[in-house]
Amino acid sequence: MNTSVKKLVTAVSASVALMAAGQAAAEIKIGIAGPMTGPVAQYGYMQFSGTRMAIELINAAGGINGEEIVAVEVDDVCDPKQAVTVANRLVNEGVQYVVGHLCSSSTQPASDIYEDEGILMITPASTSPDITQRGYELIFRTIGLDNMQGPVAGNYIVSQKPERVAVVHDKQQYGEGIATAVRDTLEDAGVEVAMFEGITAGDKDFSSLVTKIKQADVDFVYYGGYHPELGLILRQARQADVDAKFMGPEGVGNKDINTIAGEAAEGLLVTLPPAFDQKEENQELVAAFAEKGEDPSGPFVLPSYTAVQLIAEGIEMADSKDPFEVASALRSGTFETPIGTVQYDKAGDLKAFEFVVYEWHADGSKTPAN
């Protein structure tokens, strides 16, 4: 089966006719693990939207070697303990492949279970380098790394010639990891990092942090973490007349930050994957999302779609459903996907991935930063 977007979309009507005729098919279970609830459920919506579309279109085109994909969706709330619980549930469900998890702090403990149980996992969103630096055979991702994204942000900050920078993070694996990469890039470039401060995820009152930022007299603030906290920090900083420029990673780049921060979100700088939904070769797929009333522009939608596509093509390339053989096929192959040409290194990381700096606006839109 050729799982190119064009052939998948045009195969839908033919497949529906076959299904109506009552053709039975064997099943291939794929676990989809991410946050359906909790403070970052908006990112989970992107993940589930992308995976559901891929499964629908691949099944419509005949499945994987004639076998239908069945999704087993589980909610990990982006909580490490819950991630372990749902990973064990997927093991008991007999799942051999997983798209997930989303938050790095959840992905890491879950990936230990998947590797031990012989389950192939592709995360579409977790950027912590630690996840793929343990010599595992079955762990992959369709997103770049903190040590790719951090230097992009750090070098952009350097180009703006700030005098003093504050780097803030949420003390979690993802947030602190990317904040550390930004700090190191700044220090290597000779930019003064006036403060490197951790906050507690879930807090609502950031007045003490805002006071420290004012006292440090910084003109640029980088935040490593997710949008719920940064939205509040932005709002409270503006109320305190802090006029520093703020920047964050892809974990802050969704419209919910506008609901929290209001007008204070205007001008926020965000590093994100490229706008895959704008690529000409993806327009038929974009139209398929539009027909369902869904938005494919979120940073994790098409990486999630791609994860399912890669599992399908890996099975076909290996001519086997054995996860270890599929993993070997993924490492040896070259795949054309909605996020571009995918090739993997030995660790399970993409050989190439680009992050872009955008300016966020009060209406939830974004434009490339100057």
Interval 154-189: pLDDT, tens: 999 999 999 999 999 999 999 999 999 999 999 999
Q: What is the mean pLDDT of residues 226-232?
A: 97
Average pLDDT for the chain: 93
| Phi then psi dihedrals of residue 307, to 5 deg | -60, -45
Q: What is the mean pLDDT of residues 322-346?
A: 98
Please report, for the chain, the start and end positions of each structural domain, with discontinuous segments joined by +: 5-143+276-338, 147-272+356-368
Fold equal for 5-143+276-338 and 147-272+356-368: yes
Sign of CA dihedral 195, 185, 42, 330: negative
pLDDT score, position 16: 40
Fold of 5-143+276-338: Rossmann fold (3.40.50)
Q: In this structure, are residues 269 and 257 in contact, taking their beta carbons and an 8 Å threshold? A: no
Q: In this structure, are residues 221 and 244 in contact, taking their beta carbons and an 8 Å threshold? A: yes
DSSP state string for 316-352: HHHTS--HHHHHHHHHH--EEETTEEE-B-TTS-BS-
Q: In this structure, are residues 30 and 69 in contact, taking their beta carbons and an 8 Å threshold? A: yes
Q: What is the mean pLDDT of residues 177-206?
A: 97
| Residue 352 CB neighbours (<10 A) | 12
70-113 pLDDT per residue, tens: 999 999 999 999 999 999 999 999 999 999 999 999 999 999 99
How many whole angstroms separate alpha carbon 4 and alpha carbon 306?
11
Lowest-confidence region among 5-19, 32-46, 276-290: 5-19
Is the pLDDT assigned to residue 299 strictly greater than 50?
yes
pLDDT > 70 fraction of the chain, expressed in percent and rounded: 93
| Residue 170 CB neighbours (<10 A) | 23
How many whole angstroms separate alpha carbon 310 and alpha carbon 44?
20
Report if pTM > 0.85. yes
Beta bridge partners of 271: 357
pLDDT score, position 26: 87
Fold of 147-272+356-368: Rossmann fold (3.40.50)
Residue reference for tokens 């790719």: 148
